[in-house]
Structure 1
Amino acid sequence: MCGIVGYVGDKESAPILVSGLKKLEYRGYDSAGVAVVGGNQLNVVRATGKLRNLENRVVQDLPKGTTGIGHTRWATHGRPSDENAHPHTYKNVAVVHNGIIENHLALKAELRARGHVFSSETDSEVFAHLISAEVERGVDLPDAVRTAIKQVKGTYGLVVVCSNDPGRIVCTKDASPMVLGLGQGQNFIASDVPALLEHTRDFVYMEEGDLAVVTAAKVDIFNREGKLVNRPTRRIDWTPMMAEKGGYKHFMHKEIHEQPRAIADTLRGRMLLTEGDVHFETWNLTQEQVQTFTKVTILACGTSWHSGVAGKHMIESLARLPVEVELASEFRYRDPIVEKSHLVIAISQSGETADTLAAFKEAKRLGAHTMAICNVIGSAMTREANLHVLTNAGPEIGVASTKAFTTQLVTLYLLAVKLGRMRGTLSVEGAQEHLTHLTQVPKMIEDVLKCEPQVKRVAREFMNAQDFLFLGRGPMHPVALEGALKLKEISYIHAEGYAGGEMKHGPIALIDEKMPVVVIAPKQPHIAYEKIIGNIEEVRARGGKVIAILDEDDNQADTLADHVIRIPAACALLAPVVATIPLQLLAYHVAEMRGNDVDQPRNLAKSVTVE
């Protein structure tokens, strides 16, 4: 989510840093800053809001120096403010950091006991203190960084400068992207390629655990064991727009493929496997409060409403709380029953959806405890809520939501575990089992994405269809709804999603040899597998074309379908996350083959801020 840029060479670094950060604006941010080393001094400039605020400050009083680092921050720990913006400094050390330090509270307490004074609310500032303490003991900067990361539990893309060492930058990464840009008499660091394309096309992608020492003359990379290693240099020929898309033709395609990473970011730091519990950064509900809740109401629109329907299954199953899922656009226009014992959850990618926000405010006015599940820190919905939980999907540029949907599902699953533990309906062992299932989801999605060539073949066969029907039972019903919505949004093909048991109550009349029917049928007891097989047979009996989404080890249904797309077998409540991926790919490739504007479909907006 956050952007990093570093430069060491013979030019003034501040303008290069600001220019690089501008190329990363698409990632989303709420503050920005630079730290420049010049004359054995650190010069730091930071500003909240848009990059132009930082640029204005830099222009007014240019920090002099040919070594520097810059950062755009999207708040996770601490509100957006100048103090919480990166770079963070302590004495002679400045750092920028992407990721989360899970044990930052313990480290801060230990450092305070040693006389350290913190100037921000962030976890990232801990790195500046840990590294500075080592440098003051006479430790060389790369070794000081190695010592610091050994004390940290969490993830990092970390870049460090020191005023005592003005011609050198040290950077390291673990589960956070980092690239090195190679130049003549100058070298660069960034969290993503677009930041550097105006300066170089030669890049080295750092690997997990790598630590690089970067000077104007050379780049040395060391692996986790401290051994000097060679990483391949890659020539990037992307245009800046292609680079922002990571080489993908459309943002939507890129975002589909980002889902393993996005889900890992959503889970990171929140799963307490040893304790069998979930940690949310802003959680403020006591056990007594949770135990007084008599009902959960979920308010949402569109794709977020579909995630809410899936969340209903999760919360009712694990926390044994009744859940109603309301279309936010309808909620205010009747006389809803809302009581103080109700927990009302608003779900929105942007946090600015007008209908959802209005319904949310009404529920709050009526006395409910309110929670927002959102992807944008500081949005209207997060400010309105008593409690908010971020999905951490990162910026989603494509209008048709993909990674926002799956990260909402994962967040709701975490919430269900949390509520189950607090209500006593889920044991430690039970929670550990569910959280273990969650850890497997990113890898499952990576495996599902390998089916893309097969999905493309299906898309090519049915790209000219006039209608589609999507069927699913139990937790797969919202997946069917979402699959149909994605196809409608970007291909402009009429599509409907139905619960499998409802097919004979109307939609079966539409089925003929021209009607492709997508059946989501993982082999799970809660999904009434035998019943969904009956749906497939009913479609076949009427000449319909069956596209079946099946578990990889299912040999029963594959003979009944015209096309089979295999997915890894997941537990019933998490199967929707995995089963959604091929439907996103299907919608994408059908739309792309029809020549549609995939990222900006007609008549739609990314954030629906009017009712």
Structure 2
Amino acid sequence: MCGIVGAIADRDVVPVLIEGLKRLEYRGYDSAGIAVINDRDVRRVRRTGRVSEMADAAAAEGFDASLGIGHTRWATHGGVTEANAHPHISHGVALVHNGIIENHEEQRERLRALGYVFESQTDTEVIAHLMHYHLKQGGDDLLAALQHVVKELTGAYALAVISRAEPERMVCARMGCPLLVGIGEGENFIASDVSAIVQATRKVIFLEEGDTAEVTRESVRVFGADDQPAQREVHVSDVSLASLELGPYRHFMQKEIHEQPRAIADTIEAAVENGFSPALFGDKAGSVFEDIEGVQILACGTSYYAGMTARYWIEAISGLPCNVEIASEYRYRAAYANPKHLVVTISQSGETLDTMEALKYAKLLGHAHTLSICNVPESAIPRASELVCYTRAGAEIGVASTKAFTTQLAALFQLAVVLGKIRGMVDAEEEATYLEALRHLPGSVQHALNLEPQIVAWAERFAPKQNALFLGRGVHYPIALEGALKLKEISYIHAEAYPAGELKHGPLALVDAAMPVVVIAPNDALLEKVKSNMQEVRARGGELFVFADQDSNFSESEGVHVIRTPRHTGVLSPIVHTIPVQMLAYHTALARGTDVDKPRNLAKSVTVE
């Protein structure tokens, strides 16, 4: 991973590739590269760092070609080195890859036995050598070789391949990772995101699961998972309206889960460019924030869990006391009001009635300073608030909130750091560390999305269950709550979440072989405590499903299933660990046949009490 672009034309495609990669930078990445076919030879340039550095190198080396592919990579297998950057080449075959190949080690040993030498630590280089191997076996048919290769891969992939032996075409394949073909006049394109090719065409074909395709200057041929020709509809994409179209996805919830790297990147863009400034929350924010002595968060549902997470950040980073309340409860009690406390309301729609009424009640009690975190410009709650931060998640169609939640978390983290700076709790070195974590966040989320094939297997085990338990500790406890909420609202499985330390104070009585227990277990200061809580579950015959970091030192065993993300993302770990629990809920609902986007009894914008 993380971004793909390819082009074949009668003109120089190098500028198209470079521009496409720049448009994919929002996904987060640590290296970039392009490969082109020129005079029946493969030329490649790769660089760690920014796309601009790679582009400068390509210009210095005089890159010019009518066929090429490009990639931005966020490291998963192997470190951030030029040798691990894409494209990868094997004997004149160049390819780029998004996703994770789960059986790469098995294939690597097989290829080594056949005499292939590996130059990188990546799973992707395995695919390049497999392409060359099948070309040797069956002649120079690039498409046939790709169709053979994908049948030997286990995992998720979007692939684009070119060969010096066939300079008049490129081929591609998709399984689990988005990939589309762009249709031009006498030129055609491939990309992982329409934004990468919008400068060249708006006509696109969204490849479906298992598809392969052959792309030449004049034609596009698509083949289904059975390798038979398949008809795929041509869409005219309007990027500003893309959030209203399903594209290659089965449901809006699935689409919105996969849009999170972009949504988060858009939400944090100003902070990444200009640092943690009060201006992120409005022109008056600086003077308001200097005047406050605490924070009161009001929200409902998923937004309430975002507020619970923010409490940990705000108190730890800024040193301000923070209280979080369900809006529908706050508005009906004799609440204590301190005019020096900032009231923060969180709402995706900006029209949530309980939250709007709680805001009115807070003002009536004497709260002078209010901030709205919202996804819909000019909606009711922002209009009623002194300060506003828009999350820039884009339209969220699915009832179960996904990208709205993670962008709320991103906005709330920025609030915590800004308050910390104003209060002198965050020095320049700490601010730089937080900023670096924020820059890497979209890439971390993208990697979490690539865990989807493993989560699908878990979902099959969850589908027949009637109950589930979610556990987390510290700042990850609200993520356990969010996971339980997602599962219950779209799969209709009863699910509860507890702080893991509370397990022995009652919930342990529910644990048996029929109760799956999901554990959020990042490699943080509470990891050993979480491991102890897991032992309590196993001792009662419970089956554990653990979301852990790569270095959490868990091993699978009977009754203990583990899915790992490759990096512990520190203070922003709750956002990354949200992605797997969203996907678990989605795929469990799919397996149970429920209406994912429109779960029974629920509405997207709750405008009634």
CA apart distance, 1:428: 1.6
Aligned partner of 1:545 among 539, 543, 546: 543
Change (3 A) 1:349 1:276: closer
- Counterpart code for 1:339: N
| Equivalence map 1:367-516=2 (5 Å) | 367-368=366-367, 369-516=369-516
Picking from 517, 532, 535, the partner of 1:534 is 532
Q: Is the 8 A contact 1:570 1:578 kept in 2?
A: no
TM-score by length of 1: 0.61
Secondary structure in 2 aligned to 1:269?
A: helix
* Paired AA for residue 304 in structure 1: S
AA aligned to 1:470 is F
Partner of 1:266: 267
Partner Cα separation in structure 2 for residue 565 and residue 304 of structure 1: 26
Aligned match of 1:583? 581
In terms of mean alpha carbon deviation, does 595-604 or 426-435 score higher?
A: 426-435
Partners of 1:414 and 1:481 in 2: CA distance: 22
Q: Is the 8 A contact 2:396 2:403 kept in 1?
A: yes
What residue identity is the alignment partner of 1:349? Answer: Q
SS, match of residue 285 in structure 2: coil
Q: Match of 1:375, as an amino acid?
A: N
Shift of 1:498: 0.5
Alignment partners' CA distance in 2, 1:284 and 1:278 = 8
**Closer/same/farther in 2, CA of residues 390 and 513 from structure 1, 3 Å limit:** same
List aligned pairs for 1:24-39, cutoff 5 A. none
Q: Which runs of structure 1 show a deviation greater than 4 angstroms over 4 or more consecutive aligned residues?
A: 202-215, 229-236, 239-243, 275-279, 557-561
Aligned CA distance change for structure 1 residues 484 and 334 (closer, same or farther; 3 Å) = same
Letter in 2 for 1:269: A
What is the 5 A alignment of 1:254-333? 254-272=255-273, 277=277, 279-280=279-280, 282-287=282-287, 289-333=288-332
CA distance in 2, matches of 1:510, 1:308: 28
Distance 1:231 1:259 in 2: 34
Change (3 A) 1:337 1:495: same
1:475 alignment partner, SS class: helix
Do the aligned residues in 2 keep the contact of 1:511 with 1:544 (CA within 8 Å)?
yes
The answer to whether the 8 A contact 2:542-2:559 is kept is no
- Whole-Å separation in 2 of the counterparts to 1:266 and 1:429: 23
8 Å Cα contact 1:320/1:425 also seen in 2: yes
**Structure-2 separation of matches of 1:278 and 1:271:** 14
Query: Shift in Å at residue 286 of structure 1?
Result: 2.8
Q: Percent identity?
A: 49
The alpha-carbon deviation at position 211 of structure 1 amounts to: 8.9
The DSSP-based 3-state class of the residue aligned with 2:414 is: helix
Q: Distance in 2 between matches of 1:350 and 1:377?
A: 9
How far apart are the structure 2 equivalents of 1:248 and 1:394? 17
Q: Measure, in 2, the Cα distance between the counterparts of 1:295 and 1:594.
A: 45
- State how far apart, in whole Å, the 1-side matches of 2:321 and 2:331 are: 21
* Alignment RMSD (CA, Å): 3.3
Indicate if the aligned counterparts of 1:242 and 1:248 stay in contact, CA closer than 8 A: no
Counterpart CA distance in 2 for 1:596 and 1:371 is 37
Q: Deviations over 1:538-583 (max 9, x none)?
A: 0000000000010012224545862111123334431110111111
1:151 counterpart residue number: none
**3-state SS in 1 of match to 2:571:** coil
In structure 2, distance between residues paired with 1:214 and 1:599: 30
Q: CA deviation at 1:242?
A: 12
User: Does 2:559 align with 1:564?
Assistant: no
Unaligned runs of 5+ residues in structure 1 are 1-97, 100-192, 216-228
Q: How many Å separate the matches in 2 of 1:384 and 1:234?
A: 54
SS state at 1:318 partner: helix
Q: CA 1:317 to 1:283, structure 2 compared with 1: closer, same or farther past 3 Å?
A: farther
Residue 5 of structure 2 aligns with which residue? Answer: none
Structure 1 residue 400: Cα displacement: 0.3
Q: Deviations over 1:347-370 (max 9, x none)?
A: 000000000000011112223210
Aligned to 1:554: 552
Distance 1:212 1:577, change over 3 A: closer
Q: Is the 8 A contact 1:276 1:428 kept in 2?
A: no
Give the TM-score normalised by structure 2: 0.61
Alpha carbons 1:301, 1:329 under 8 Å: kept: yes
How far apart, CA to CA, are the structure 2 residues paired with 1:245 and 1:211? Answer: 18
Contact 1:265 1:392 in 2 (8 A): yes
Change (3 A) 1:239 1:253: farther
Partner letter of residue 249 of structure 1? R
Asked if residue 237 in structure 1 is aligned to residue 232 in structure 2, the reply is yes
User: Aligned pairs, how many?
Assistant: 403
**Structure-1 residue corresponding to 2:147:** none
Amino acid at match of 2:307: G
What SS does the aligned partner of 1:470 have?
A: strand
Are 2:554 and 2:562, in contact at CA under 8 Å, matched by a contact in 1?
no
Structure 2: distance between partners of 1:561 and 1:554: 18
CA-to-partner distance for each residue in 1:311-364, whole Å, 9 max, x for gaps?
A: 001111111110000000001111111121010000000000000000011112
Distance in structure 2 (CA, Å) of the matches to 1:282 and 1:347? 16
User: What is the CA–CA distance in structure 1 between the aligned matches of 2:243 and 2:391, rounded to whole Å?
Assistant: 26
Distance 1:495 1:552 in 2: 27
User: Contact between 1:307 and 1:409, CA under 8 Å: does it hold in 2?
Assistant: yes
Aligned-partner SS, 2:396: coil
Kindly tell me: are residues 596 and 334 of structure 1, through their superposed partners in 2, closer, same or farther at Cα, counting changes over 3 Å?
Answer: same
Do the aligned partners of residues 233 and 344 (structure 1) sit closer, same or farther apart at CA in structure 2, a change above 3 Å counting? farther
